[in-house]
Structure 1
Amino acid sequence: MKSIDEDLLPLADAVEAFVLGGGKRLRPAFAYWGARSTGAPDSQELINAVATLELVQAGALIHDDLMDASDTRRGEPSVHRRFEAMHAATLWHGRAEQFGAASAVLLGDLCLVWSDEMLHRSGFDPGTVLLARATFDQMRTEVMLGQYLDVLSQVTGDTSPQRASLVARYKSAKYSVEHPLLFGAVLAGADTSLLQIFSAFGLPLGEAFQLRDDVLGVFGDPATTGKPAGDDLREGKRTYLMAVAFAGAADDTDRELLAKSLGDPGLDDSTVADLREVILRSGALERTEERIEELTAAALTALAAADITEQARLALSELADSAVHRST
């Protein structure tokens, strides 16, 4: 970047801080053990290839924060807010908010471009990369479509569990676990039977991962999540948790509060606390926790049938546990 113009250095600093500044690294970890499950050795080529998923995730999160108008990510200003603040501090022309949004769009796009470059330069032979690209491309396409369904549900107000599950499947479940596993396995030359087992393991586990995210988006501690309390409520997320809350609302008063408040960016902490009580009374939190355990059990049952090394089985089991039993 510096070779083009020094004014591009803030972009490099922002992406470095974003990629290296935190995150769970679950997607590269699932991809890595998807490959190692086949008996493939650890290698720099494998590390390079699975690390591309962190660039995909960075691009997705930068765009996601912009779409949701989120102020923070991992306890730091979101990328669009970072560039908005830079504009305001330097008294540049135009609207700081517009500059921040434009910068975030471009930086998110750059991360997606760099993920392509990193995969092709990973060190794997071109034939192997070509095989893995089918999964890599499908993963990136489906997460974008899932994101669109998510924002569409917010504006249409669709609170059905069926729609919430569809969004969770394509926005997160396949993208977070199933596709990374398949990506790594294909890089290592896995056979069809193992790929089928990884799908049976990864899809329910990915949905459980998203349901945990939904719970934390309402009941999480900001000190550990890095996001303000109740952010999903302010953003109007039509999650499985909220779908069950609407369906099981204790009375019309509770249902009216949900309908009136969900998606109100100005919700204060007191109203967020009231909404949490409504959700608890509806039984939605309890049902969501039960659903997480059901999905996790189904995933682990599928994993038990896989003909893989015990080291890989243990690693994938531990990853499954960290995906669904977490506080961030």
Structure 2
Amino acid sequence: MSTRRLLALSPVNITFVYLGFGILWIATTDSAVVLFVADPDVAAFLQTIKGWVFVALSAGLIFGLTRVRERRLEQSEQRLRTATEQIQVLHRVLRHNIRNDVNVIHGYVDMVYDELDTSESKAKLDHALERSRRIATMSDKIRILGELDITDETYGTVDLVRVTERCLEEASFEDTPDITVTSTVPERAPVQATPAIRHGIEELLENAIEHADGADDAVRLTIEIRRTNGEIELVIADDGPGIPPHELAPLEAESESELRHMSGVGLWIAKWVCEVHDGTIDVETGNDGTSATLRFHAATEPVSVEAAIERARESLPDSAPVPA
């Protein structure tokens, strides 16, 4: 078996291949020694030699596999650095060049708009203005990528409750009077993350507000934070019209194409924010609304001296003396 084909195997299969080789080596060489060598001293010497040969072959195999894996890892790191550079360039282009050009176009369109007399022409310019606003908004969203360091694995402790409350305070609910918000959250919910997780929450709240604008009735938005099996979940759900299935298809497939793509980048940003922080996101949508669940690893907070004393007192039996 070639090295390339061996590396293509899974670790379990490589283990079985090595185990089979070891069993075959021992059985074959032991039989050969017994069959062709009658002198016990010579046989013992050959057993030692073949043992060292087996060790040498094993060391060579392990070195070869490790070295090739190391080279592949280096290639993957280089591709990651290249992808990061491409994202940074894309971020600069969208954030500066495109945004500045859109602002110039927007200004000239506004000037021409005031000079028009017919409502039909103004309607066309309104459409152009709306398109330019969408491009400007999308370029603002792309800047978030500059704040997500996909190579940084050092996380601090972030209170998901406080971050969510701040996002709710900054959300533009006043522009959507037909949406009511209710929340069920604990006092604190520390997670292993960076403050950049706010971007994912902001995008999901903005998505709920955007779809509430097209709803016939008032929309209820519910926020819930709960702890489950060492993880902390943030559930953002609404009973609005729901996200069209074609918008979620690329997210579920984890890729876009000419026939399957999103009209925006909000859900992608929410997904990337979760993945960068070693979390997950599940989005479910239907006629009864949309529900997005973000999961992050719970962080362990240090226990204060007062809390430790209180817990110790609670654990003592009623008859035990309690120190003053």
Larger radius of gyration: 2
Q: Give TM-score scaled by structure 2 length.
A: 0.22
Higher strand share goes to which structure?
A: 2
Q: Give TM-score scaled by structure 1 length.
A: 0.22
Higher helix share goes to which structure?
A: 1
